[in-house]
C-alpha cells in the first residue's frame, strides 16, 4: 500500500510542548518540516501529508490527549482506508535509554496509557510502533512528573541529531518496510 498513517503521540497545549511525553509530536514536526508539509487542525487532531518515493505519508498528532489516542488513530485509519500494517505509532518509552530507537511489529502497552487506548480501540496489540527512549532518570513515584517534565539541557542538545534520524526512520518504514527498517535502525 502506498499510503502510510504516522501517528505521533503527545498532549496538546503549550505546557506540554517540550515534555518527554510529547516526543511523538516533536518527531512528526521534524518530519513535516523536512518535507515542507504543514499541519492543519482537522477532526480529532492536527494532520499534514506529503509524498515521498511514490508513497503518501499522512501525519497525525491527535488532539484527544495521550490517554485517548486510539480514538483519533482509529478515525483517521478508517477515513483514509489505511490497513493496520501501514500505520506507525510514534511514542516515548521510559524503559529504553534516552535517544535509543526501537521499532516493533507488535507488543504490550508497557504501562503506556496512549498505547493501552490504541490497543483497546484496535482490538489488537499487533500494530507497528516506533518507541523513542526517554530513559528512566526519576525517583520512585515520580514517573508522571518525569514524562510530563521538560527535556533537560543535555537531552535538548542531543535531540538536535536524534530528531532528523527519527524522521529518516519513518520514511524508511514507509519506503523499505518495517522489517528492513528494524534491521537498519533498532538500537541506534
Residues with a catalytic annotation lie at 21
18 is in an annotated binding site: no
113 is in an annotated binding site: yes
86 is in an annotated binding site: no
Asked if 11 and 24 count as a contact pair (C-beta separation under 8 A), the reply is: no
How far apart (Å, rounded) are the C-alpha atoms in residues 109 and 111? 5
Sign of the dihedral defined by the CA atoms of residues 33, 37, 38, 40, in that order: negative
185 is in an annotated binding site: no
* Grid coordinates belonging to 188: 541506534
Residues contributing to the annotated binding site for tRNA = 16, 65, 67, 113
Residues contributing to the annotated binding site = 16, 65, 67, 113
Amino acid at each position: 500500500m502506498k499510503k502510510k498513517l504516522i501517528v505521533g503521540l503527545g498532549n496538546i497545549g503549550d505546557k506540554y510542548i517540550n515534555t518527554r511525553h510529547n516526543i511523538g509530536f516533536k518527531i512528526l514536526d521534524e518530519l513535516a518540516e523536512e518535507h515542507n508539509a504543514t499541519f492543519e487542525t482537522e477532526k480529532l487532531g492536527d494532520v499534514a501529508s506529503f509524498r515521498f518515493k511514490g508513497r503518501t505519508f499522512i501525519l497525525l498528532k491527535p488532539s484527544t490527549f495521550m490517554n485517548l489516542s486510539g480514538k483519533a488513530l482509529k478515525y483517521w485509519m478508517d477515513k483514509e482506508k489505511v490497513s493496520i500494517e501501514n500505520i506507525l505509532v510514534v511514542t516515548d518509552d521510559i524503559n529504553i535509554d534516552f535517544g535509543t530507537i526501537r521499532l516493533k511489529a507488535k507488543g504490550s502497552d508497557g504501562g503506556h496509557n496512549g498505547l493501552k487506548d490504541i490497543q483497546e480501540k484496535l482490538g489488537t496489540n499487533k500494530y507497528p510502533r516506533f518507541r523513542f527512549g526517554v530513559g528512566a532518570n526519576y525517583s520512585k513515584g515520580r514517573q508522571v512528573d518525569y514524562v510530563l517534565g521538560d527535556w533537560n539541557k543535555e537531552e535538548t542538545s542531543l535531540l538536535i541529531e536524534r530528531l532528523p534520524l527519527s524522521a529518516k526512520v519513518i520514511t524508511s518504514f514507509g519506503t523499505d518496510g518495517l522489517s528492513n527498517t528494524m534491521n537498519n535502525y533498532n538500537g541506534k
